[in-house]
Structure 1
């Protein structure tokens, strides 16, 4: 900034400065003294301005997470996951949770990532990073609290290999027995309905949440209409005869919803039974792998049509992640085509 020239006022000199819209002046005996005062005053004003800019309000990460959930998260389909992840973070990392977002650096987050990787799988860490990065982006682009997202400089762990877990007939029998249920039985207890959902998932390749959200008005003779799915689009799920037979078992209690089970209750009960019978490396979502593979093996459904059934927009993900035939099954299919 160019200094203004001092002006003579009687036997002395006067100099005026403008800083951020404010006029500041001083009177000295000589021009040189005026210029020295002006240089020192400008340095002082600029230093104080920078100090004020650097002093930012303490804003705990936990407060930002709570605001994100209230303003954004609870309106998303993944709200349950978001709520659980936030609560788990605050409980497990209380010091980091109470650290101001202005003080959280990429190095701090990298240390957190490494600590987290010692406790959970890389897939879980990737989900956490995706959520918490979205929260920081919200602070940056919607609240204008920070200039940069610190996660932008944090390396993500490698993607885990796609699961290829199949479900054997022996495991199906164990799961049904654990829920005191037999194929063809009309469900009467909550554990029966959970077993029924397990069987229906294999026959339709539908996700757990999709089955629990079915409304009777969306059930048609040959398909079930899903108004909203994981990828944000509606989907019609064709029904095999085996799936139609399962639907006939559900009594009509006058409710619009086909099943009166919450997602939390389902996951807790199903998970507890799976652990009790000692099934290792087993997820309910494996029913989707099994159902898709069976459709190709038994029904000879081409992959383009299969994608319509499952709702996959990317054929590569469907083939590489969900269609998991064994080498023996592929050999039999090749020989049957001769």
Structure 2
């Protein structure tokens, strides 16, 4: 490790930027920096951290995409979702997951991994043991989120009964079909449900409760996802 210099890291950075996004490179640089720092301080494998001398690429602006009501309706129609009905197949279950994401701000992977033994409908919360930041958390359920779970059949350990890759494939197909009549939906991503959910929840919860619910250690990071428009804010002013 002591032979690796900042020139090596810069060359790796430039090669990676040709194939992946700036934000991905930055996450990998954070990981590499942590490894070198631990090696320098604890293990004495190297004398410097070469990542510290490497310029980071600029991250793109965070997405601020909210979801219009007509877009929600169009996606649900293409997924054959019917309000209040038990989803018999995988496709309408993805519609249920889409609505559940808007209610809870849970990530797609968290929803796909959710198991019935971590669902506590009587106390209105679900338990997430595996999250992006590594901290388990309890997610409170709105009345609608609770209702959505209650419509799901209990025919396996997984609540929604599909993998994240299946969710991605079928959601993309539904979006493509919907886009013929509604072109704006072409830019919609499943993860935009998190922006939509947090913007809605911010009207109901104080900032600390909201950060706890969605698993952010630093409340400042909520600004990445909170996307209320000036008109929305103005409507709440006297």
Q: TM-score, normalised by structure 1?
A: 0.59
The alignment yields a C-alpha RMSD, in angstroms, of: 3.0
| Structure 2 residue aligned with 1:207 | 107
Point out which structure has higher relative CO (alpha carbons under 8 A, 6+ apart): 2
Partners of 1:283 and 1:103 lie apart in 2 by 43
Q: Does 1:153 align with 2:153?
A: no
**Using a 3 Å threshold, how does the CA distance of structure 1 residues 142 and 266 change in structure 2: closer, same or farther?**
farther
After TM superposition, give the deviation of residue 157 of structure 1 in Å: 1.2
Question: What's the CA shift string for 1:290-326, capped at 9, x where partnerless?
Answer: 11111233xx3222222232222211111x1122111
**Using a 3 Å threshold, how does the CA distance of structure 1 residues 191 and 136 change in structure 2: closer, same or farther?**
farther
Partners of 1:268 and 1:251 lie apart in 2 by 22
- Residue aligned with 1:250, SS: coil
| Structure 2 residue aligned with 1:310 | 214
| Structure 1 residue aligned with 2:230 | 327
1:269 aligned residue (170, 173, 183): 170
Partners of 2:148 and 2:113 lie apart in 1 by 16
**Using a 3 Å threshold, how does the CA distance of structure 1 residues 111 and 132 change in structure 2: closer, same or farther?**
same
| Structure 2 residue aligned with 1:236 | 138
- Residue aligned with 1:225, SS: strand
- Residue aligned with 2:63, SS: coil
Q: Does 1:282 align with 2:183?
A: no
2:72 aligned residue (168, 172, 185): 172
* Mean CA deviation greater in 233-242 or 142-151: 142-151
Q: Which runs of 5+ in 2 are unaligned?
A: 180-184
- Residue aligned with 1:224, SS: strand
Contact 2:97 2:160 in 1 (8 A): no
After TM superposition, give the deviation of residue 109 of structure 1 in Å: 3.5
Question: What's the CA shift string for 1:75-104, capped at 9, x where partnerless?
Answer: xxxxxxxxxxxxxxxxxxxxxxxxxx8876
Partners of 1:246 and 1:148 lie apart in 2 by 53
**Using a 3 Å threshold, how does the CA distance of structure 1 residues 102 and 294 change in structure 2: closer, same or farther?**
same
After TM superposition, give the deviation of residue 194 of structure 1 in Å: 1.6
2:200 aligned residue (281, 294, 301): 294
After TM superposition, give the deviation of residue 154 of structure 1 in Å: 1.7
Tell me the matched-pair count.
Answer: 231
Q: Which runs of 5+ in 1 are unaligned?
A: 1-100
Q: TM-score, normalised by structure 2?
A: 0.80
* Mean CA deviation greater in 261-270 or 243-252: 261-270
**Using a 3 Å threshold, how does the CA distance of structure 1 residues 108 and 313 change in structure 2: closer, same or farther?**
closer
**Using a 3 Å threshold, how does the CA distance of structure 1 residues 143 and 304 change in structure 2: closer, same or farther?**
closer
Greater C-alpha Rg: 1
